[in-house]
Amino acid sequence: MIDADEKLATSAISQGRATLLHVAAEANQLHFVKELVKLLSDEDLELQDCKGNTAFCLAAALGNGKNKMAWHLYHYTVHIFNDADWDALFFFCLKTDIYDLALKVLREKPRLALARNENQETGLHVLARKPSSFSCRGSLGQRFLNMLTNSGKSPTLALQLVKCLWETLLSLDGTEMQTIIKVISEPSHVIFIATEVGNFEVLAELVRSYPDLMWEVDTKIEASFTLLFCTATQTYLI
């Protein structure tokens, strides 16, 4: 049918203005997408549905099950990205646990360490809320101490991403530490988010390179990180 009418390859085929590429990407039809992309131009790959999503956005937004699809479309579309596209892709990958692609995107565009999503949160904020992505076992206090001393298993992709985000922030030229603290403390502080949900892998990564974070105070409840940590883990820091 496409051979008979080339317009079908880029026509909207649903009420939501999804093209054939949108539908195939969303359905995870990787082989079909690979063949279809060969027929399309750069402009065709930029076509959006009624919600402003390209086919690549859909593949990233649908999560880890579409990992291969997201990686495939990334290589075809990355050269036409603007800043908003980079931001959207990065946060889609964080939201849906495609951490290997998020890590690559961050290394390509280090400024993403400062980018904020629709909730005005940075990548560190998003990851701090996802303790299940770090899959570490053991008591809360022991996990924290293991991470502080770099003992334990190899870091997960999520933790590698946290490390890359934090190191990128710390290495920004001309940026004072107080500016970095402001980045991770607005709209709420990363270390208090992580403490509340028990994500001590994130805490340890940040505290190990900047111990003064342990004396940060949550102004909303007038409590220090040290107090909140001891309460959460039922341990004492000596």
- Report, as an integer, the average pLDDT of 109-115: 95
pLDDT exceeds cutoff 70 at 39: yes
pLDDT in tens, 129-181: 999 888 655 555 555 555 555 655 678 899 999 999 999 998 876 667 888 88
pTM of the predicted protein model: 0.76
- Helix extents (H) in the chain: 20-26, 30-37, 42-45, 55-61, 67-77, 83-95, 99-108, 123-128, 140-148, 157-171, 177-185, 190-197, 200-209, 225-233
Task: Specify the pLDDT at position 200.
Answer: 84
Percent of the chain with pLDDT over 70: 81
pLDDT exceeds cutoff 90 at 20: yes
Q: Which domains does the chain have, with CATH numbers?
A: 1-80 (1.25.40.20), 97-238 (no CATH)
Identity of residue 60: A
What is the C-alpha separation between 193 and 185, in angstroms, rounded? Answer: 10
What is the C-alpha separation between 207 and 189, in angstroms, rounded? Answer: 13
3-state secondary structure of 217: strand
Task: Specify the pLDDT at position 221.
Answer: 47
pLDDT exceeds cutoff 70 at 222: no
pLDDT exceeds cutoff 70 at 232: no
Task: Specify the pLDDT at position 204.
Answer: 87
136-to-101, 126, 184 alpha-carbon distances in Å: 22, 18, 23
214: DSSP letter? G
Confidence band, pLDDT 50/70/90 cuts, at residue 227: very low
pLDDT in tens, 78-101: 888 899 989 999 999 999 999 999
